[in-house]
Amino acid sequence: MTEPDRAVVGVCQLDGVAARQDPSVVRDAVARAAALGARLIVLPELTACGGVFTRPEEARAVAEPVDGPTVRLLSELSAQHSCVVVAGLAEQGDRGQVHNTAVVVDSGSLVATYRKAHLWGAETNAFEPGGQPPPVVSTSAGRVGIMVCYDLEFPEWVRLAVEGGAEVIAVPANWPLRDEGDPQRPFEVVKAQAAAVTYRVNVAVADRCGADAGVDWYGGSLVCDVDGTLLAGPACARDGGPGGATPAVLVAEVDLAAARDKRLGPFNDALADRRAELYA
Amino acid sequence: MTEPDRAVVGVCQLDGVAARQDPSVVRDAVARAAALGARLIVLPELTACGGVFTRPEEARAVAEPVDGPTVRLLSELSAQHSCVVVAGLAEQGDRGQVHNTAVVVDSGSLVATYRKAHLWGAETNAFEPGGQPPPVVSTSAGRVGIMVCYDLEFPEWVRLAVEGGAEVIAVPANWPLRDEGDPQRPFEVVKAQAAAVTYRVNVAVADRCGADAGVDWYGGSLVCDVDGTLLAGPACARDGGPGGATPAVLVAEVDLAAARDKRLGPFNDALADRRAELYA
């Protein structure tokens, strides 16, 4: 397979309540992104079940295996639209535990599974964290690294994906609306931009919007290039701002070849300039 | 000494040509910052010599020891204004090598020296990189971590300073104006914000402005709090934008106590949430 130099990426921002109540919400969002040309389509964390989980039994109630209904639906959609889909689900583990998982389906088949390693808030009580680094998958839309929400805030996690060859990092996320920082560009967005430019990798985040289980979601879905420039989003900028965001599909073409080149002018290199021997 | 909970920080943006030609430029900037209440005052990288160095002999021509004229001037100013000053100089090494060094003077005395570990551009040919982590110094204006310019773009370096107890990181910088990214918030600013909020530390950057040796300088001096919010700067926003920036003194009060608390709500912690065992 010749490596593609560019790919159109779509991020689908969904309302969690709506997605939980009606599977056509996911179906329609993927169809819309595909119609806009997206070959890599990212959906929010815990795509179909939405919600806020604070106890193991809550997570177990919606958990499913990675050959369950969510992955079957995503596989069908990826085959129908000849695209790669990255989405989240509550994954039923083999000892009764539940993981906050992201899956990658490409042209009808499940090609990767990743369990969120850095848990946020009360979900710490509901999910068991993963212990494996972010996978990087060669797809028809480039080499895709996968992580979930809070994982993206750890520079080391981004570096591992980049060292694994990721040209774009796909991030299902649920960013809760917070009071701190600049409301128009909250720290999650700043960190996503910094992750991208620090390691010269494209970043695509699909966020949740609306209110669910007493939480307002930021609605900051975005696509960012290797220079840290926002190509699309944050999605809430189109609407009533953070917390006033509505469901959205954002599409942008990213430069995969640029992500394969870590040079910064004639003397520097984003990876080679690291002095890892001094970082212990 | 009781640890202070807050400190007023000043960042002095200087024109390199002017600073090289007239020592009163540094003297006046420090006096102005002190008059505005600053107890920690940061000056640009290579404060007094300015310039762009691409060959060892160019650096050697302006190099001086850490008990030379620059540190004597800074010591005098810090005693006169009862403040801490962080500034840069070309430091003469003991084997003919030159380091791009930052010094900390507190109330008349040199209290720390740091040699830039991550070199940028052609300066790679002129300076020898340091091999020691960023020092953290207990001063009358809080616990101050020190690094120089490009060092700040390495998350691991920021983490080391924070693990060493830094409440504010003082960064003498020379940010060259570049074409990539958002001109109003270039990636250096985004990375400074991300560094601050990722590790819950205040960041103070003193940048250069004007043109010197064929390079236009961004003029992005700033003070950023532990939430990643810009308390002051980037300085160019006051003027004609990037490249049109003028000399400036920006002052902001930072919350040192906030930097001692790494908790993120009831479940999370910016340092404890790291899963270092997975980052190798």
Contact A279 B193 (CB under 8 A): no
Sheet strands side by side (includes A142-146) = A136-139, A142-146, A168-172, A202-206, A222-224, A230-232
Residue B254, pLDDT score: 98
Under 8 Å CB-to-CB from B184, ≥6 apart: which residues?
A: B237, B241, B242
B191 contacts in chain A (CB < 8 Å): 194, 197-198, 228
B76 touches chain A (CB under 8 A): no
Contact A154 B121 (CB under 8 A): no
Residue A2, pLDDT score: 75
| Residue of A180, A191, A230 lying closest to B194 (CB–CB) | A191
φ and ψ of B143, to 5 deg? -85, 115
Contact A117 B182 (CB under 8 A): no
Residue B273, pLDDT score: 98
| Residue of A155, A181, A268 lying closest to B229 (CB–CB) | A181
Contact B190 A228 (CB under 8 A): yes
Contact B187 A227 (CB under 8 A): yes
Q: What is the ipTM of this complex?
A: 0.96
B273 touches chain A (CB under 8 A): yes
B184 touches chain A (CB under 8 A): no
Residue A243, pLDDT score: 73
A120 touches chain B (CB under 8 A): yes
Closest CA to A210 of A234, A245, A236: A245
pLDDT above 60: residue B98: yes
Straight-line distance from the first to the last Cα atom of chain A, in angstroms, rounded to the nearest whole number: 39
B263 touches chain A (CB under 8 A): no
A150 contacts in chain B (CB < 8 Å): 273
The residue of chain A nearest to residue B131, with distances taken between CA atoms, is A278
A187 contacts in chain B (CB < 8 Å): 193-194, 197, 227-228
B187 contacts in chain A (CB < 8 Å): 193-194, 197, 227-228
A98-102, A119-123, A163-167, B49-53: which has the minimum mean pLDDT?
B49-53
Alpha carbon distance B156, B199 (integer Å): 10
B72 touches chain A (CB under 8 A): no
φ and ψ of A160, to 5 deg? -60, -40
Reported as a single tens digit per residue, the pLDDT across B68-92 is 999 999 999 999 999 999 999 999 9
Q: Is the dihedral of CA A245, A246, A247, A250 positive or negative?
A: negative
Contact A191 B198 (CB under 8 A): yes
Question: Cβ of A97: how many Cβ atoms within 10 Å?
Answer: 17
Closest CA to B112 of B129, B92, B132, B126: B132
B189 contacts in chain A (CB < 8 Å): none
Reported as a single tens digit per residue, the pLDDT across A222-272 is 999 999 999 999 998 877 777 788 999 999 999 999 999 999 999 999 999
A110-119, A248-257, B10-19, B150-159: which has the minimum mean pLDDT?
B10-19
Alpha carbon distance A123, B123 (integer Å): 48
Alpha carbon distance A190, A198 (integer Å): 12
Residue B1, pLDDT score: 58
**Alpha-carbon B184 to chain mean position:** 20
Pairing mode, if any, of strands B84-92 and B215-216?
unpaired
In this complex, how many residue pairs, one in chain A and one in chain B, have their CB atoms less than 8 Å apart?
A: 112
Residue A50, pLDDT score: 84
Q: Which of B123, B132, B227 to mutate to test the interface with A (most CBs of A within 10 A)?
A: B227
Whether pTM > 0.95 for this model: the answer is: yes
Q: Is A34 helix (H, G, I), strand (E, B) or coil?
A: helix
Contact B228 A278 (CB under 8 A): no
Q: Which long-range contacts (CB under 8 A, 24 or more apart) does B211-216 make?
A: B211/B17, B212/B15, B212/B16, B212/B17, B212/B50, B212/B51, B212/B52, B213/B51, B213/B52, B214/B52, B215/B52, B215/B176, B215/B177, B216/B176, B216/B177, B216/B243
Window 9-68 of A: residues touching B by CB (8 A cutoff) are none
- Torsional class of A92: left (φ above 0), alpha (ψ -120 to 50), beta (otherwise): beta
Domains and CATH numbers, chain A: 6-278 (3.60.110.10)
Reported as a single tens digit per residue, the pLDDT across B140-151 is 999 999 999 999
The answer to whether the beta carbons of residues B168 and B194 sit under 8 Å apart is no
Alpha carbon distance B84, B111 (integer Å): 10
Reported as a single tens digit per residue, the pLDDT across A183-225 is 777 899 999 999 999 999 999 999 999 998 888 899 999 999 9
CA distances from B123 to A180, B116, B191 (A): 38, 11, 21
B182 touches chain A (CB under 8 A): yes
- Percentage of chain B exceeding pLDDT 70: 99
Q: Residue B204 forms beta bridges with which residues?
A: B170, B223
pLDDT above 60: residue A1: no
Closest CA to B235 of B253, B226, B247: B247
AA letter at A270:
A
Q: Is the dihedral of CA A40, A45, A51, A56 positive or negative?
A: positive
Alpha carbon distance B264, A150 (integer Å): 12
- Torsional class of A4: left (φ above 0), alpha (ψ -120 to 50), beta (otherwise): beta
pLDDT above 90: residue B183: no
| Residue of A118, A129, A279 lying closest to B156 (CB–CB) | A279
